[in-house]
């Protein structure tokens, strides 16, 4: 069974095995990790992560993909699929005190900024995050003060994360190829030295900073 990518969901399915291997290496999963993938798509990355984990969660909006994911992943490992809009998903339901969340995903452009802020509201639950994002978003997240890309998004996220770009992923690694270059980034937010990795046509690492304010980031760029 094949699935036609849907533009309204911002679907670009990763297929390049070399890129997938680099992403898995960057995540460096351990068997006991509490890992959740946002938008697993057709399971290309999921199927490489599952054998390395005791179990794994995935949040998928497109209900038509769920039967395909179940078939792809059933023989590979234990995957729990949550059929939900990730912007409304309650990540506290997946948290375990002894296993903070590790979050990974190839994020559609139209939800990347609101999703980052949604996750930062739960930063005390998160060990790290690896996301694929458009390069322009990563540039803004990682921008230095007084640079042309520095702005509200940079300020709000850098209050909670140290952002580290990792590597660039060419459009040809996806079906259909996105119009923009993507980058992978990682960041550990908050008190528990967590990382937020963002996968885009460019790599980025976000590292969480010690919390020094009770304020939560609600603004978006």
Q: Which residues contact 195 (CB under 8 A, 6 or more apart)?
A: 127, 128, 129, 130, 186, 187, 188, 205, 206, 207, 208
Give percent of the chain with pLDDT exceeding 70. 80
Average pLDDT, the chain: 83
Is the model more confident about 206 or about 40? 40
- Closest by Cα among 197, 175, 204, 217 to 29: 197
Confidence band for 23, pLDDT divided at 50, 70 and 90: very high
Residue-wise pLDDT for 93-135, tens only, equals: 999 989 999 999 998 888 999 999 999 888 889 989 999 999 9
The domain defined by 14-208 carries CATH number 3.40.720.10: no
Is the model more confident about 80 or about 185? 80
Domain boundaries, the chain: 14-208
pLDDT of 56 = 98
Residue-wise pLDDT for 161-220, tens only, equals: 888 899 999 999 998 888 778 898 887 654 333 444 443 334 444 444 444 433 333 333
């Amino acid at each position: 069974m094949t699935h036609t990518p849907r533009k309204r969901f911002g679907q670009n399915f990763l297929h390049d095995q070399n890129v997938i291997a680099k992403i898995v290496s960057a995540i460096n999963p351990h068997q006991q990790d509490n890992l959740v993938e946002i938008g697993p798509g057709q399971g290309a990355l999921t199927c490489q992560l599952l054998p390395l984990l005791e179990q794994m969660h995935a949040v998928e909006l497109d209900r038509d993909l769920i039967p395909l994911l179940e078939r792809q992943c059933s023989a590979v490992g234990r995957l729990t699929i949550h059929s939900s809009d990730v912007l409304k998903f309650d990540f506290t339901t997946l948290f375990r005190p002894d296993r903070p969340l590790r979050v990974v995903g190839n994020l559609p452009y139209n939800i990347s900024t609101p999703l980052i802020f949604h996750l930062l509201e739960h930063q005390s639950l998160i060990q790290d995050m690896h996301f694929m994002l458009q390069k322009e978003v990563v540039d803004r997240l990682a921008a230095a003060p007084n640079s042309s890309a520095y702005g509200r998004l940079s300020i709000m996220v850098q209050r909670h994360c140290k952002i580290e770009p990792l590597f660039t992923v060419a459009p040809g690694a996806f079906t259909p190829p996105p119009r923009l270059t993507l980058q992978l980034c990682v960041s550990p937010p908050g008190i528990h030295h967590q990382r937020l990795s963002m996968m885009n046509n460019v790599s980025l690492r976000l590292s969480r900073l010690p919390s020094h304010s009770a304020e939560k980031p609600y603004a978006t760029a």
